[in-house]
Structure formats: C-alpha cells, structure tokens
Chain A
Amino acid sequence: MAATVTQQPQKLVLLTGDSWGMLACLCTVLWHLPAVPALNRTGDPGPGPSIQKTYDLTRYLEHQLRSLAGTYLNYLGPPFNEPDFNPPRLGAETLPRATVNLDVWQNLSDKLRLTQNYEAYSHLLCYLRGLNRQAATAELRRSLAHFCTSLQGLLGSIAGVMAALGYPLPQPLPGTEPTWSPDPAHSDFLQKMDDFWLLKELQTWLWRSAKDFNRLKKKMQPPAAAVTLRLEAHGF
C-alpha cells in the first residue's frame, strides 16, 4: 500500500520536472507516511487477512488443545478425566477468566477486546510453560511444548492485528508479571486442580477469541458472503 502511495507522486515529478515540486511531493509522501496504517485500516485489504489468519489459528489451537487436554487429563488421572468432572473454581484465582456476560462482551470495544485477549494469552502461556516444566513424561512435555509454540504464535498474531489496527500493546504493570512457580504449600491435588482449570480456561478463551475475531472480521470486511465462504473452507 505504501508503495502505491509513493509511486504516484514520482510520476507527477517526472511530468513536471520541477525540482521544487519534487521536493514538495517528497515532503507530502513523508507527511503521509505516518498515516499509512490509517490508510490501511480504511483501505480494502486492511487488517482483514491478518484477522482471518488469527481466527484460523484460534480454531487450529482449539483443535490442538482438544487432543492435548485429553492426554493431559488422562495423565492427571480420575476423576479429572471423567467427562462430567466439574469442580468449583476454588484455586486458580490468578488465571484470567474467559467467561463474560454477553452484554458486557457485546459492549466491549475492539481495542478492549483485543487487549483482553492479548493479556489472557500472555498469562495462559506463562502458566502453560510452567505446566510443561513439571510434566513427568517426555511425551507430555513434547506436546505441551508444541502447544506453547502455537500459542506463542497466536499471541504474536494478536499483536499483529492490534498493531495493524493501531492499538498499542498492553504493557504489563511492573510486579504483576505472571510468574509460574509451584507454591510449596500447594498440595499436588490443588496443583492438579489448577492444571485442570488452566486447560479449561484456555479452551474457553479460545472459543471466546474465535468469536471475537469473527466479529472483528465481519466488522472489517463488509462483504459477508466472502467471509462465510472462507469460514466454511477453514471449518475445523
């Protein structure tokens, strides 16, 4: 996009042959350079592809998490791997909650929505890495590491979307940096509960993100037909 913007003034320069004009044009170009993202936003391709990519990645991660969670919950043993196991969320207070009231969610701005996503995944990624460190079997560690890499990709993707839309990345407040360290007073059982909740929240977040990005995508790409077509093509 930036290239197209700069080419037209150059042609103009050639036509005029005026050095002052050329200077003026260059100045204009320079003047417009900071506005390029804004142009992008309003422009046709815009952030649509990157949102689409993020959406796709979310769906992929959702799919990936399904197999990972199965493996991990089996590792935790019964009753964690029972299908109707639904313990109250007692521990795991530090985990970012994905559940949100529909009205609240609808009233969120795009920026806030993206920021929440970004923050949530940064936290979840950190916890997930901790999970990886304590896993007892090598195979589990491998699949966790693989998922972490994917999640890192999603985080980067969200950051890309935010940058494309011109939103600043949320800066973690000093001291609130999520650090995963196994609480010595934390019993193994509570740790398992935390792990369970981490996976559950991760899943809910991925669902929510898919919804978020879908909404964002619709907003950015008016032709809805194209969007649905793509969705179908990528339906996981």
Chain B
Amino acid sequence: MFEKRGHDHSSDLLSKPQQTHTRFERQSGNFSNCSERFLLKDRTFNRQYAHLYAERLWEVRPKVEIAARKKWGKDICIRKLHELQSDETCVVTGTLFKHMELKPSILQEISEEHNLMPQPVRTKFVDDSDKLYLEDELQRIILVGDLDVQTAVTGVIIAVYGKEPDDDRGKFHVEKYCFRMLKEQVPRPILEKDKYLILISGLELGSKEEQSFTLQLFVDMVTGMLGNSQEQGHCSEISRIVVAGNSLSSSTQDKDSLQKAKYLSKKSAAGSVEAIKSLDDVFTQLASSVDVDLMPGEFDPANYTLPQQPLHKCMFPQALRYPTFQTVTNPYDFTIEGVRVLGTSGQPIQDIIKYSTNEEPLDILEKNLEWGHLAPTAPDTLGCYPFYKEDPFIIEDCPHILFAGNMTKFDSKMFRGPGGQEVLLVSVPRFSQTATAVMVNLKTQDCHPIQFSASFTSEPNR
C-alpha cells in the first residue's frame, strides 16, 4: 500500500477545483462471527469455579498427553498423581498453580492476626519465593527443577516429565515439560486484492485528555475524507474496523457519586452518559462507510467478568441504524475473508503481566498460543464467569491473527508454530495515549501502525 506507484500524486489536491472526482466503492468482506461460545446463555452464579478448572483439565488433558507422547516417545508412562511411585520417571499431567506470597488474599486482609499496615498498591505481585504446584483432580505436588517459576502462571495445563525422588517426597523433580500442541491451521485463502483490517483500542472518551481531534482525523481517514484520491482509494480497501475495548475512559467509571448523598447527586448525570453520546456520533460516522465491531473493555459499561458481553444496543441509537455496526463480545473471534482473527481487549494480558515476570505483550500472546489458552489466570486472578460444562477460552482452532488491545505501544510479530502455523501477533496500543491505530493487510499479513497527530506551535502568526 505504501510503495510509490508510478506518478507522484501527492500534491494533486493543491490545484484548481475539478468537477469530477472518483468515488470508490468499498467491498464488504466475507465475514462470519465465531464468538458464539463467548455469549452467556444463562447467568447462574451459584456455582463454584471448580467446575471450570475440571472442565479445562478434562478437555485439554488428552491433547497434552498426545503432545507428550509425540515429544518424548510413545512408551512413556503417564501417571495420575495418586498413582505416582517414588523414583519412577514418568509423566504427570495437571493444572499449574502458582503459589504467590504477595498475591492479594481477602482472607489475609480481614484476618486479625495479620492486622498489619495496608499493603502499598503494587503493580506486580511476583516474588522470589513463589512456588509452582501441579494439581489434578485429587492431589497436588510441588514442582521443582527445570521449570521457570517466574514466567509461569496459574491455570495452564501442563505435562511434566520427571520423577518424585524417594528422599524428597512431596516434590516432583522436573526434567522436561510440554503443553498441548497447537492445532493445525486452516490455510488462509489467497486474496487477489489488498484488504485491510483496522484494529484500534483505548479511545477512552470522557476523560480530560481525550484525543477528540485525532479521533476525528482517524474517522475522516477511514471514511475517505482525508487525503488525495490515491490515498482514498487505499482507504476504500479497508474492510473492517475492530474497536478493541476501553472506548470510555476510566474516569467515567467514577464511583464517587455512589458515596455522595442522593440529594447532592440527583441532577448530575454520570460521566459515561455524555461519553457514550459522543461515541455514538463517532460510530455513526464510521458505520456509514465501513463495518465496525465494538468490543467492550475494562472501563466500558459492560460486565466485569470475562467473557464480557456485547454492549447494549440502547446505547447507540444512531449508530445502530446502520447494519454495519455491531457490538460484540470480549474476547472476540471472527473470520474475515477466510482469515481467522482472535483477540481480547487486553485484560488477560495485563493480568499475566501482573502475576508473572513476563513484560512484553507479544511474548505473552505467544505463550497463550503455546499454552493453548487465552486467559489461563481466569478465574484465579482474573474475573470470570463460573462456567459449568465448557471453557470457552481454550484456543481450539489456531487463528491467523491474535491481537490484544489497550497495550502501551504497538508491536507485531509473526509467530511460527511447530506444525507450520503462522500467526500474526499484534499488540494494539491505546489510542488515547498514542493516537495510533493498527492496519493489518489480510492478503500479506503485514501490519502497520497509523498515527494521527496535529502539531501546532503556539507561536503567533508570522
């Protein structure tokens, strides 16, 4: 898209007005929404999370065992924890649990013996004394050895190869480990023309630092207002926009009005009301020209637990008049032009950053693929719905693009899996901080950031 094509048209519009201007037609892409599993059918909260873990183990364990056999030979013996015999080298499968001293625990907080000063607010809860346990349905055992505790997180299904020595019972010495194998990727179709997918997140309207002008530039660019003909032609090849969460800022989630007396706050509307109205205007402009999918994020008026349900339609009365606008779940899984895209608004990634030493979003996305799970820390430290018979976060089909929204900066990487899979990992930055959106070429899996800005000096007119 960005190569010079022949004649330089850049200054075309610095000329006399012409009557005829080309109007490009946008093609609607072949789209299908695969996020059915993230829609909650019923809302029963009187269940415990044990079912979710059990379901995860039941579903993933057979696949992990297949991977283990493939990796370490067909004749290894796979044992359950309760069948372990000392000094026998074998493979055990189960769920990882990371015991962290600094993990906030409500019991400790309210317990009287630990009546210490309140803990300072921490961003990371890792400590050198963290331990890893392997748990299955009946028992748990401490893992020591060749396993990096700091980068591991709770909730991953793992197979470990090692033994429990006789002189050190209760601990399993790990020599090797493996996770499930990523499924073979369905090859993506070959596209003739360039088609683009735009990922943007963290619009964060409603805050003082909101980037209204740059957002308007973004909208104008996508709808074909800005730029010269050539550029507008390129923009007409954009087939979809996915807004990955946090379209409202955290300041709209201000709970202060709950503390104030009713008579004081009666006339004041919540900050989110105005913000949603302006968001509706933005999406109406966008939807008149391109397909838009809106995902909820951490600060949006949606439920807190994952999977977040689509934002309610009543909030966007104008934008919903266009059939091109739809509100979708977080995480979001869809196929466009045969390319499978999967992504979240960033909460699982941020949670993993908090509870492990992983820092780079792309590394974490890569680990997600290796572990085969989108949000392993749910429900431990990440809010999650108590599923009963399913765990929708297990990555079944290998996507072609995996993205996470609301990251600090843009980054992208092509991940090559063991089975020849190629997954484009994208970390989408917050628009309110960086005024950058991400443009992905569905034909070539290229990824470019687009940055909008307005640079004005405060010098007086010369």
Partners in one complex: no
- Which A residues have a C-beta under 8 Å from some C-beta of B? none
